[in-house]
A = this chain, B = another copy of it.
């Protein structure tokens, strides 16, 4: 679905938060994993079923207060095909609860391969006369290192299927500057990428003014966030780095425009690992996640007024 749908959900909940579903095994409450091991033995299948159960519980606890979830593909791939099945079922369950689903896959490849990825995550795959949607997401993250060839197939799919993508522009990690902050001519490399995104997306803007090409811009570099917000008026931002990585509510406010629109802030560990701080060994993981999400929402509301 387009950024209009996401922005509407954010406005309705007055909460520009996406909950990152990054289910490392040590983030899963012990009783959930133990139950699945009792059923399936100590296997990848047991771990994957535990991931799914954990995610479904989190989605139940969050779906009326958080507009979107973002599963990080790596933690599902770690469990092989069983893990990917848990990813498929997590996406389906989140969609059944009317959440906006961003698959954090950070794929980037040559045109023909990018077309395959966009079919898998944003479109459908045809076998004979049947069609299938392996991963029925609303949006994915992509890597723009290969240039526009690798982005256009995604954009074409987005237009056809009313979806959108986020390309990595300025990432939240400590070494992001090694390449992204290089100066090429009169622009940072990340600015070149941002400008490319805005140019490619031109003409696909929705009612809030945002095109189908979004950008990932980290909370950990608030001054870059601010300058990119001003420059990329039509680009919706996905903002990682809040909470565990060090970004604050005061930092992320720079991601929003004067109407409080145009960005969604991710928190993964802060929400899904909240149970580790209550001393109840994870039996309260749903309540803990909900309380953490409400605390984050209220923190963001202190800095951002959503019209």
Contacts and interface: CB of A to CB of B under 8 A. Distances in A.
A21 to B, nearest CB: 13
Nearest to A141: B109
A120 B74 contact: yes
A83 B134 contact: yes
A173 B189 contact: no
A289 to B, nearest CB: 19
Contacts of A176: 146-147, 149
A207 interface: no
B178 A147 contact: yes
Nearest to A74: B116
B145 A145 contact: yes
Give the most central of A111, A172, A178: most B CB within 10 Å: A178
Contacts of A80: 84-85, 88, 120, 132, 134-135
Interface stretch (A43-51, A223-231, A246-254, A277-285): A43-51
Interface of A: 22, 24-25, 37, 42-44, 46-47, 72, 74-75, 77-85, 87-88, 106-111, 113-114, 116-117, 119-121, 125, 127-130, 132, 134-135, 143-150, 168, 171-180, 182-185, 189, 192-193, 196, 240
24 contacts: A25-B127, A37-B128, A72-B113, A74-B107, A74-B109, A78-B119, A78-B125, A81-B81, A81-B85, A81-B88, A106-B143, A108-B145, A143-B143, A143-B145, A145-B168, A146-B171, A146-B173, A146-B176, A147-B173, A147-B178, A147-B179, A179-B196, A182-B185, A189-B189
